[in-house]
Amino acid sequence: MYKNFINRGRHALSALQPAIKSIMRIGLLYLIITVTCAQLLLANSSGAQSLAEIQVSVELRNEEVRSLLKQIEKQTALRFAYMENQLSRKEKFNLPKGRYRVSEALNVTLPALNLAYMNTGNVVYIVRKQPDQREGKSPQAGISEHTGVAPAAPVQLTVKGKVADEKGEGLPGVNIILKGTQQGQISDVNGRFSIEVPDEDAVLVFSFVGYIPQEVAVGKKTDIEVLLKVDQKALDEVVVVGYGTQQRKNISGSIATAPTELVANRPVMNVGQALQGTVANLSVNVGNGRADTSPSYNIRGQNSINGTDGPMVVIDGIIMDAAALNNLNPQDIENVSVLKDAASAAIYGSRAAFGVILVKTKSGRTEKPQISYNNNFVIKQPTYRPQIVEDPYTNFWYSNQMGAFQFGAHVLEYAQRLQNDPSLPKFMEFGGSWTYFESTNWYDQIFRKQAFSTQHGIEISGKTDRVNYLLSGNFQHEDGLLKPVGEDFNRYNIRSKLDFRVTDWWTIGNNTSFMRNSYSRPSAFNDAFLFYSQTMGSYEAVRNPEGGWSSAGVQSVGKMIDGGQAETTNNLFQSSLNTKISLLKDVLDLQGNFAYTNNMTLNQWGNFSVPYKRGPSLPFISGGNNAAARGTTPRTQIYMDAYANFTKTFAQKHFVNVMAGYSQESYRNQYLYYDRVGLVTPTFPTPQLATGTISLQESVTKWAMRSGFARLNYIFDNKYIMEMNGRYDGSSRFPKGKRFVFNPSASVAWVLSNESFMEFLTPVASHLKVRASYGQLANQASSVFGYMPTMGFSRLNAMLDGTRPMTVGAPGLVAGDYTWERVITRNLGLDMNFLRDRLSFSGDLFIRDTKDMLTKAKTYPGTLGAAAPNVNAADLQTRGWEVNLGWRDRFKLGKDDFRYNFNLILSDNRAKITRYDNATGTLDDHYVGKRIGEIWGLTTLGYFGSNDEVKTHADQSQVSSNAYPLEAGDLKFADLNGDGKVNRGQWTLNDHGDYSIIGNSEPRYAFGLNLRGEWKGFDVGAFFQGVGRRNFYPTYRSTTTDYEFYSYYATQWTHLTPHMRDNHWTPERTDTFYPRLKPGIAETPGREMAVEQTRYLQNAAYLRLKNLSIGYTLPANATKAIRLSRVRVFASGDNLFTWSKLPKFYQVDPELAGRASNGGGIAYSLQRVFSCGLNVTF
């Protein structure tokens, strides 16, 4: 229904109405269920009942009255408010076990302490008796003989004063509450206040957002001055770690958190885009700008020669994958933690060999049910658009210079006539062959200049004493940039999160989410299709004059419009049950999780024949057969764990936490694909309605793991921190006898700022902590069946007895010692806070060794008859560093505070091979000492200035075109080894000719800068992200050729760029970017421009304004008037500006350059985004 609305009207709001109605229906049903459950669970709660009507089971054995109050609170919804100094610890009471009315139990105990009580709803206030009550006078003024309820005490004192900040400036709007009551005042614009209190025992509580609350005993003071300190929350921040949480000040490993506002408050297509640049050494490769693109992640650089394995993803304690993270509703995220070193990740074992991304979703936060609605409306544009020369004559002329095919003089003559008279026909027949004289920008034919997207979300949450609930729904629609036909992406997210406190010691919960996304596009649209769009001359026509597709138009536009549609649908269902049993309150508990995940991917294609003509008067040519295809991939994952957690502080200095548990996981993936040609009708393209032979493919992948794990934390006197982790993993990916491995780790930290000899630094350095860790993790990211001999199964290409029989190949070889890879990480870190926690610094140095990587064995003789098996025979080392610098403060701007903060991250890493069997030292393979990403190439000296210079220079024939001799204006390379020849030698470490390492393709010096400010309801934020260096060489191979860079130097069947036209060498113009015009010199690998060299090596370093946002939150009195809790409007922009080291003419996005499947030429562009939206809380 959504797609029909969108495709017909492209009107997002009409498509959203059914979604919003559905979500509201679900929300109403959910709220009814929740309220019903809450009523059942709270059937014994008091509500507005009299205390004489509520019965409880209590017992006191020489205990304080506090014990009685706690027992009553556990069994009812009552809450007691009192001053701490009122409840004497000396008085002990005995109360036989039994059922008592609450009023009865209080009347037995409180009078002995000269206390009385009064209740309002569920709150019971404990107050001091007045003198006349002690003497038994005036029952109306004292305690009721029947209920024991005391009236409010008469006012006796008036206290005045001022609340100021650390600079002594008055703070307006500070809440001043009489502790134990709801009586209070608010400070005025100068921070002054006046409040009445009952007696000298009163305690005032001062609180203000962003400051540490402070309690002040009144005593005999009638004028009080209070200084509130800024609450930076940096040290007490709770960080999610494996199987639990820790305060940041107690962390000894390398753990970072992503700024939540950058994840949840940006109109991004996926979570990966929001995480980019937010955490040091967390690399996010966004892929490209297609809506269905799933970013990939990496923590701390290259980790294996078998491809970079991504980090483990854990969402609400359940192991997921990167795709699940990318499809998560950003509005559901509460916080994101990144575990970087082995010490922090070891608790997850071999799945976490290269780090962990931990995500915790939101839960209910307030007792009052809260409903929030969020939306955004987005206009997006390509970040870069290629520039081409559209004039037919200029293109014909350059094509003739750069290729064997020649346009005749009559063609060039007619093109010149067309320049002077544009009314002439733009096609002409010469000798039976048709030539077109169009000015076609094929990029503009394929991609539109802007597109629309929108996102809408609703959330219902709340909590009671027994129930914590949240229901959220989100709808996202993306219009693609494809121009000729529709390209739509729709995603729906629903999450239900419930936690029930069944008893005081037992809690159970359920977290269920469902995600569905669908991406529809033309069947012909893929990366190869983009290649065809670049190999069409701009003089070609899209359609013939009398109608019908031209031979050029059918390849790029015609197949998109008439060639059929494709759709990919993903349905991800995940449900987990969790429980927590408290055996000893706040000391020992048992926890467990069970999760079921099902992810179904369905692909559907319809490929239709598209006829075309090579000229106006020529017949149509068939474009092939009609066909239909289907592909399904169901994936199922089952996870369970159970663990015990012991926490205790001994003698107020020895904190001990012990956790131990067990987990089990299984996974199954089944892929089925089938297609069939000969469609009966294109109306409903399905293999069932085709007549040809069915082609079928199928594969099944499955594996399982079983693990035991434990962790010990010890902290002495908040100074010395120690953590030890151990995990024993078993994996089905390895042969029996080698399936289990132990993963140990340890970390220590020393909080120097808590040492007495460091007190003199406290005014400057409020927190100093040194961290160190060491850990070993095994890596199971190898082939699922790599330890087993496998046999190929295929159909014979030859005919036997009129058929093509199936054949089975010989099994391959398997190494006898096939086992786990090992990852060993050492980490040294330093955390520092200065100037009362306003300035913070965190830095880490690390070394990671990946040992026993699987690679090919030594070269065996051909008589072996089989490929060499993979063995554990290679090592890799990654070294790096990372820093995080933050500042937060405020100052007066007018009468209000301007609060601001910034956070800067900077990181780097490099990887090299430390063990590899390469006896010959060939550079076509890895070798010891090789830097991952290194680029070998020639050193370019410039151009030959004359033909005589060609003759006197070293022989370049081995790196030059064979078809055309070297002349003035050709590239000139350095003869580094002085042998009179420019070549690659034997292409070994000992003899690499004149080649040398000229660059490296790995990104270096990744950084991110987040700036935020708040004032009078306004908030503004700017986020910058980039890399300091990343080399690449524009590709020149087949369908990956970068025509945007090379233009006609790669082939004459492309378009001309303005930069090539204006910057190629001529005898009169020698200081140019390109050499002289010479056919095919960027087409043959290893020749001239198609050889890596210093002149055309590119640096994709960039600085990008990733996000700029401004918002305004309406004042509380304004929202209250319209019965809303909070209203915020905002405007935001993404990818607004980019500063790049790439040449200005080179119109490619630096994030995609050298990375896209076509090597950095035309790819599906990233988008510049302009959005506005609304956040409303009811």
CATH number, domain containing residue 213:
2.60.40.1120
Angle between helices 392-401 and 409-420 (to 10 degrees): 150
Q: Going by DSSP bridges, is the β-strand pair 115-120/79-81 parallel, antiparallel, or unpaired? A: unpaired
Contact between 541 and 436 (Cβ < 8 Å): yes
Segments of 734-820 assigned E as strands? 740-751, 765-779, 793-795, 806-808
For residue 1062, count other CB atoms closer than 10 A to its CB.
13
Which residue from 1002, 1016, 956 is spatially nearest to 982, judged by alpha carbons? 956
Same domain, 338 and 271: yes
Q: Residue 35 — pLDDT band, cuts 50, 70, 90?
A: very low
CA dihedral 141, 146, 147, 153 (to 10 degrees): 10
Instruction: Show Cβ contacts of residue 255 under 8 Å, excluding neighbours closer than 6 positions.
Output: 239, 241, 337, 338, 339, 340, 344
In this prediction, residue 596 carries a pLDDT of 96
- The yes-or-no verdict on residue 26 having pLDDT over 70 is no
In this prediction, residue 999 carries a pLDDT of 95
Distance CA 825, CA 850 (A): 9
Q: What is the 3-state secondary structure (H, E, C) of 376-426?
A: EEEEEEECCCCCCCCCHHHHHHHHHHCCCCCCCHHHHHHHHHHHHCCCCCC
Q: Residue 1147 — pLDDT band, cuts 50, 70, 90?
A: confident
Average the pLDDT over 81-92 and give the result.
Answer: 70
Same domain, 187 and 248: no
> Which of 200, 227, 254 is where one domain is finished?
227
Which residue from 316, 270, 258, 333 is spatially nearest to 296, judged by alpha carbons? 270
**Residue 43: both structure tokens together:** 């059937």
Same domain, 349 and 265: yes
In this prediction, residue 744 carries a pLDDT of 93
Which residue from 1096, 1074, 1056 is spatially nearest to 970, judged by alpha carbons? 1074
Same domain, 79 and 114: yes
Q: Residue 869 — pLDDT band, cuts 50, 70, 90?
A: confident
- The yes-or-no verdict on residue 643 having pLDDT over 70 is yes
Same domain, 161 and 248: no
Counting the structural domains of the chain, the total is 3
* CATH number (domain holding residue 300): 2.170.130.10
Instruction: Show Cβ contacts of residue 13 under 8 Å, excluding neighbours closer than 6 positions.
Output: none
Residue 700 bridge partners (DSSP): 670
Same domain, 316 and 339: yes
In this prediction, residue 121 carries a pLDDT of 67
In this prediction, residue 219 carries a pLDDT of 86
Residue 149 bridge partners (DSSP): 117
Q: Residue 20 — pLDDT band, cuts 50, 70, 90?
A: very low
pLDDT: is 903 or 1160 the higher one?
903
C-alpha distances in angstroms, 172 versus 179, 221, 1125?
A: 20, 22, 21
**Residue 202: both structure tokens together:** 């009163």
Same domain, 193 and 87: no
Contact between 281 and 882 (Cβ < 8 Å): yes
Distance CA 78, CA 58 (A): 15
- The yes-or-no verdict on residue 14 having pLDDT over 60 is no
pLDDT in tens, 963-995: 889 999 999 999 999 999 999 999 999 999 999
Distance CA 435, CA 427 (A): 6
Same domain, 278 and 308: yes
Same domain, 220 and 256: no
Same domain, 203 and 325: no
Same domain, 264 and 313: yes
Q: Residue 85 — pLDDT band, cuts 50, 70, 90?
A: low
Range of the domain at 197: 157-227
CA dihedral 364, 365, 367, 372 (to 10 degrees): -70
Contact between 920 and 928 (Cβ < 8 Å): no
In this prediction, residue 472 carries a pLDDT of 95
pLDDT: is 221 or 868 the higher one?
221
Q: What is the 3-state secondary structure (H, E, C) of 327-343?
A: CCCHHHEEEEEEECCHH
Contact between 257 and 337 (Cβ < 8 Å): yes
| 815 within a domain of the structure (yes/no) | no
| 625 within a domain of the structure (yes/no) | no
Helix (H) or strand (E) holding 111: none
> Which of 315, 349, 370 is where one domain is finished?
370
Distance CA 653, CA 454 (A): 54
Q: What's the order of all strands across the beta sheet hosting 115-120? A: 79-81, 123-128, 115-120
Contact between 639 and 594 (Cβ < 8 Å): yes
Q: Kindly report the average pLDDT of the chain as a whole number.
A: 84
Which residue from 226, 232, 225 is spatially nearest to 214, judged by alpha carbons? 226
Contact between 1047 and 1081 (Cβ < 8 Å): no
- The yes-or-no verdict on residue 907 having pLDDT over 90 is yes
> Which of 319, 352, 370 is where one domain is finished?
370
Helix (H) or strand (E) holding 22: helix 12-41
pLDDT: is 187 or 263 the higher one?
187
Same domain, 102 and 163: no
Query: Which region, left, alpha or beta, applies to residue 996 given φ > 0 means left and ψ of -120 to 50 means alpha?
Result: beta
How large a percentage of the chain has pLDDT more than 90?
43
- The yes-or-no verdict on residue 278 having pLDDT over 90 is no
Coil, strand, or helix at residue 524? coil
* CATH number (domain holding residue 63): 3.55.50.30
For residue 589, count other CB atoms closer than 10 A to its CB.
18
Concatenated DSSP letters of 695-718 = EEEEEEEEEEEEEEEEEEEEEETT
Q: Residue 143 — pLDDT band, cuts 50, 70, 90?
A: very low
The backbone torsions φ and ψ at residue 20, rounded to the nearest 5 degrees and listed phi first, read -65, -40
Mean pLDDT check: name the lowest of 127-141, 319-333, 501-515, 1152-1166: 127-141
Verdict on whether the full-model pTM lies above 0.75:
yes
| 893 within a domain of the structure (yes/no) | no
**Residue 207: both structure tokens together:** 């609180």
Q: Residue 716 — pLDDT band, cuts 50, 70, 90?
A: very high
Instruction: Show Cβ contacts of residue 708 under 8 Å, excluding neighbours closer than 6 positions.
Output: 660, 661, 662, 727, 728
pLDDT in tens, 36-61: 333 333 333 333 356 777 888 888 88
| 964 within a domain of the structure (yes/no) | no
Q: Residue 818 — pLDDT band, cuts 50, 70, 90?
A: confident
